[in-house]
Each structure stands twice: as C-alpha cells, then as structure tokens.
Structure 1
Amino acid sequence: MSKRRSFSQPTPYPVANRNLCIAAVVVAMVWLSSILWPAQTTAAWPFVAEIQASSWVAGVLAAAGIGILRSIRRAALCAVLALLAVLVVPRVPAPNFSDAHTSTRVFSLNTYWGQADDKRIARAIEELKPDVVFLIETNAEEVEKVAEQSGYEPLTKPRPGNDRADNVVGLVSASFKEKTGAHGNMVRGLTRFQTPRVNAPLHGNSEFVGVHAVAPAKDDRKAWEQDLASLSDWANSRRHLVLAGDFNATRSHPRYRDFELSDCTGHLAHTPTWPAVFPVIRLDHIMTTGECLGGGTKRIPGTDHLAVWADVTT
C-alpha cells in the first residue's frame, strides 16, 4: 500500500497579533498621509505641524506592526532596523562637486536669541570662508562681535527692541563685496520677522535673502502657514535668488514643498538640524534658483540649531 503524503497546514497568526498589526499599519498610514493634507485648511489645526514633521516615525511604526505578526521580538527587530535607517541615511555625506570659481558659499545660523558662542561663530566663518552669512535670532552686540572677529561686514542692522527672534542680519566678506558690488536692504511684508537681502549686481544681479519664519506654536500656527505661503509665492517669481535660514519647516510640510527652488543639503537625505544636541528634523535650509554644488552642517555651542552652509550658483 502506498503511504499517503501529508502536508502540514500553515499556523495562523494569533488574532491579537493580527489586530495589533492592522491597528499599527492604519495609524502609520494616517500619520504618513498628513504630509498631503491641504495646508490652507489644516495647517492651523493643533499638532498638525508636529505630526507632519515627525511623519518619518510612521515608517518605524509600520515596520513594527508588520513584524508583530510573527512575534514581539520580530516587531522590535523590524522597528530597530527601520529606526536605524531613518537616523543613519540622512547623515551619509554626499559627494561635494563645489567649484570655487563659479559658486557662492552661503552660511546661515539661528543663534537662539544671540546666545551662540561669538568666537565659535567667527571661527566657523574663518574655516568655511563663506561669501554671505546670515545670523538669525541675533542682536546688535552679537553682530558687532562676529563682525569684529571675522572681518565680515554687516549690510543690514538688527531691529532694536526686546523681540530678539525678530532680528535677522546679513554679512558679507570684503572680497565678495568688492567683486560683486554687494549692498543690503530689507524685503518688506514677507514674514513677521526681518528679511534681509544681500544684492549682488555684479554677480548676475543675484539676491541672497535671510529667512526666519514664525514657529508653528500656539496662536502662531496660521501665521506660520502664511509666512511660508508668502515666501514661496515671492521666491517662485524671482530669478537668481538664494534663500537661507530657519524656515521652521521640513520637507514633510506642504507649504515647504511649494518652493520651486533647488534644496541644498550636502547629504543624501536632508541632515537634521534641530535640536542641536541630537537633531531629528531639519528646520534650517538653503535654497537656490540655480544649482547646489555642496554643503553641510556645523555645530556652534550656545544655540539649539546646527548651522548650515552650501555652495550654490544662482
């Protein structure tokens, strides 16, 4: 007699595991979909900006949810691998194709109400040798010290008063000013804060503009959305423009994606810049109507932001 061949039936996943998997994946999909929500109607809603900025967590949650079909151990392993991916990949350096003869180096730092170490700012400027520098959340004393120690010339002035978050100042190197005829003024009406512009008429009529958008907190959520909308509308109509500063927005925010400029990161996937101790999101950006040729970040003690720099054409 021939033996009957038997096949083992696959072991079904436990009901509890299936339910947890479905719940995790559904939450992850809703979380990730937030980056597509219409900004005009949802940006002012509580916690929407934070949900969008942390949308990368949805990938970790989805990985854990799928892993939990097997076991808690598998879920933890999947979550750790996904977390490592989102933490490591943005920090992988990209090739630097900068050409000193054709590019302009721009440096921007949110000095966190003027608390950044002035000597370290000047040292970073000396090391990087940028052509244009923007100091954000600064004050007159800090600008004076950085100018004195670095030899860079401020082309705009901080507004007097107690609201130090308002102050954004543009400085240039002596050689850049001489070569390009650089001079400064303010662009009015774009954001609540100062918007300094470095005009370079002998450099293809290029404009270098310092940016500080209102943070999306409490009653300022609508103002934040309006700041970014005004900035993008204005910037998208310009030629030979560079924007640099603290946008208080990431690529996950719909209003940030409205900008039609090249986004310069110097890394494979947008190195985070905030908070400085262990950055998890990128709030500080440099964008140009031209090309990005290289860039990076730099740690300056005393502030909660990393400085950003980039070599650009306009």
Structure 2
Amino acid sequence: MRFVWSALSIIVVACAVVTVKPELLVADYALQTPFAQMLAMRGWIAVGLAAIGLVFLIFGALRFFVARRGRIALTFSIAMLLVAGLHAGTMYSRGITDNEALEGESTGASITVMQYNTMGGEVEASDLAETIADSGVSVVTLPETSTESGQEIVAELASRGLQFQQFDSGTSDYEADYTSTVMLVSSSLGEYSQEQIFASPANGAQSAPQGLKAVPVSGEGPTLIAVHALSPGREHMEAWASEAEQAYSLCSSEPNAIISGDFNSTKDHEAALGLSCKDAVAQAGSGAVGTWPVGLPPLLASPIDRVLTTGGYEGDSAAFVDLGGSDHRGVIVRLNPQGATA
C-alpha cells in the first residue's frame, strides 16, 4: 500500500503543479470544461490546495507522533502547500492592489479608461456619470449596455459640463440591453469615428465577439476598441475559445490601440491560446484582482474585465468600483505614455 499511496501522491502533486502554468503542457485542456472555468478562479485553486495541504499536514503529523508513520502524508502536504504558494506568488506578481480610487496625479498625456459590464443597464446612469467625472475618465467601455442607456449617461455627463461621443452596436429599444455594447469617448481626446470590427467570424468560428472600434479622425492618437466575448458555458466552449482568440488577436493586429472590455477570460486563458497582450491593469499593480462575480472577495473573483494596450501606453494606477446593480465590478485604469511619470 505504501507504493500505491506514493504513486497517487506523485500523480496528484504533478496535476497540481501543472495548474500553475498549464499553457506549458496542457494548453488544450485549459480551454475545455471544467478546467477553463477552474483556471478563471486561480485564487480558489490556491485556497483549495492550501486547505488540502493543511489537512494532510495535520493527519501526517498525528500519524507520525502516534505510530511513527505518516511520512507520505507529510511529504504530500508540504508539496501541496508549496504549489499553493506558487499560485499565490503568481497572483502577487500580477498585482493584488485593490484601490477604490486612482492614486497619484495624471499627466496631460494620460488616458483614463473605465470598463464596466452593467448587466443589461442595471447600473444607474447618474452613478456612472459621477464616477466618470470624479475619476477623470476619458474612455468608457460598457458591455451589456443599450444605445438608449448610453445616451442617458452622455446626457448626465453633459449636465456636468463633460462632452462625450457615443459609439454603440446600434441595438433598438426592443432588444435586451445585454446584447449590446457602448463606448464613450471624451471630447478631450479629439474627434473619433466608428469603424467595423469582427465583421464576420474568423477562422471558421461559429460566432464573433461583440466589438466596437473608434479611430481618431485626425490620425493622431490611439485606436479605441471595446470587446465583449462569449462566456465559457459548457454547451459552447468551442465558440467561447474562438471568440477569446479573436479578441486577444487584436493585440497583434492593431499596432496602437487600447482594448477594453469583458473578455470572459483571464490572462491564463490568453496564455493557453498562445497569445500575449500588454495588461495595463497588471502594469498598474492590480492584475490579479477579480471583477466577477461581485459577491466574492476580489482575490477569489475572476479578473475577466480587462484593459489591454498595444502601443505606447502603460498602466500607471488602477481602481475598482461597485456601483450596485451589476454582477461585475468596474475597473478604472490610468494609462501614461511609456516612459512618462505621473
């Protein structure tokens, strides 16, 4: 039996180790049910492995002191605690700072972006406008927000003396808010015009993520893109993975862009797809802070609301807001030109 328990321990520890960086050995499995859903909750993996390690540490210690046995359990417990530590270290390296407001001061060249999934327009327009104004936000991406809801926010901002252009997916009053996406751009960035993106599913995909693209009319300034990809439901995992791949592929196809949205995937899924984007929230020290679901502690929630860059901007400071009504928290990140200091 000693051999059996040793073999089982080695197998379990090996599986646990793979979860730290699954893209190295099992990238395909990381994009399938249930592993994709588990990987989205790295904080829970760390807590679960630590709990298993502690249980076997107590069990092994008792066996050792009572019967001079339990060495396998003790070794197993230490291994599991070490792997839990690797998960915690990965999260720490991505950033665990959970601020309620941006830190420091913005520069004249800063661009502040807010991403907020309003869950079908359930977040009050006045609350959004107040947060946008107080945080100096100049680009707002709002998945699951109708054209009409966007217009209400623009009107609220105008009453505060702030002018924003609205770009949206053009949903009618008869369509549900959650089928649409809105992007607001401050007049301080100059005039922008909307272009089509994800005109058709790519690479034989069943569907394409919702996307809005706005480009500066003058030709100067970053391209602004809002994304809302499919969630990883058991019945449409292939479509989910394809939409995530299309969304992250923008990082290589758009040379000077700010890409913000509800990606319904994390940096780990991005890596499993073999893609790499510049994560502005991680650069700001908050890449592991979760935004969904809002009821979980931030480090146990999933960081699926993301702000990515491809050009000359980098994250300087990030903050998270919960205005009520949605199952997501909003993320705000200040972007500075690379090399600039606030």
Which stretches in structure 2 are left out of the alignment for 5+ residues? 62-76, 159-163, 202-206, 338-342
SS in 1 for 2:267: coil
Q: Which amino acid aligns with 1:189?
A: S
For 1:170, which of 174, 178, 183 is the aligned residue?
Answer: 183
Q: State the match for 1:5 in structure 2.
A: none
Q: Distance in 2 between matches of 1:149 and 1:119?
A: 6
Instruction: For structure 1, list consecutive stretches of 5 or more residues without a partner in the other structure.
Output: 1-13
- How far the C-alpha of 1:108 sits from its partner, in A, is 1.4
With over 3 angstroms needed to count, the CA separation of the structure-2 counterparts of 1:91 and 1:239, relative to structure 1, is same
Which residue, out of 232, 240, 244, partners 1:228? 244
Q: CA deviation at 1:142?
A: 1.3
Q: TM-score, normalised by structure 2?
A: 0.72
1:48 is the counterpart of 2:69:
no
Instruction: Answer yes or no: is 1:271 the counterpart of 2:289.
Output: yes
Match status 1:312 vs 2:332 = no
Residue in 2 that maps onto 1:156: 168
Aligned pairs (5 A) from 1:192-211: 192-202=208-218, 204-211=220-227
CA RMSD of superposed structures (Å): 3.7
- The aligned length equals 296
- 1:121 CA displacement: 0.9
CA distance in 1: counterparts of 2:15 and 2:25, whole angstroms: 15
State the SS of the aligned residue for 1:199: strand
Quote the residue 2:235 is aligned against. 219
1:301–1:61 distance in 2 versus 1, CA, 3 Å? closer
Higher relative contact order (CA 8 A, sep 6+): 2
Q: Identical aligned pairs, as a percentage? A: 20
Aligned to 1:299: 322
1:255 to partner: Cα distance: 4.8
Distance 2:224 2:330 in 1: 17
Counterpart among 174, 180, 184 of residue 194 in structure 2: 184
3-state SS in 2 of match to 1:264: helix
Aligned to 1:249: 265
The answer as to 2:139 corresponding to 1:132 is yes
1:52-104 alpha-carbon deviations (Å, 9 max, x no partner): 213444434444454455414987xx69x969968995542599566421221
Task: Tell whether the 8 Å contact from 2:113 to 2:138 is kept in structure 1 after alignment.
Answer: yes
CA distance in 2, matches of 1:285, 1:244: 6
Residue by residue, what CA displacement relative to the aligned partner does 1:202-259 show, whole Å, maximum 9, x if unpaired? 4734201001011110322111111122223333122110100100011221356613
Change (3 A) 1:45 1:82: closer
Distance 1:31 1:83 in 2: 10
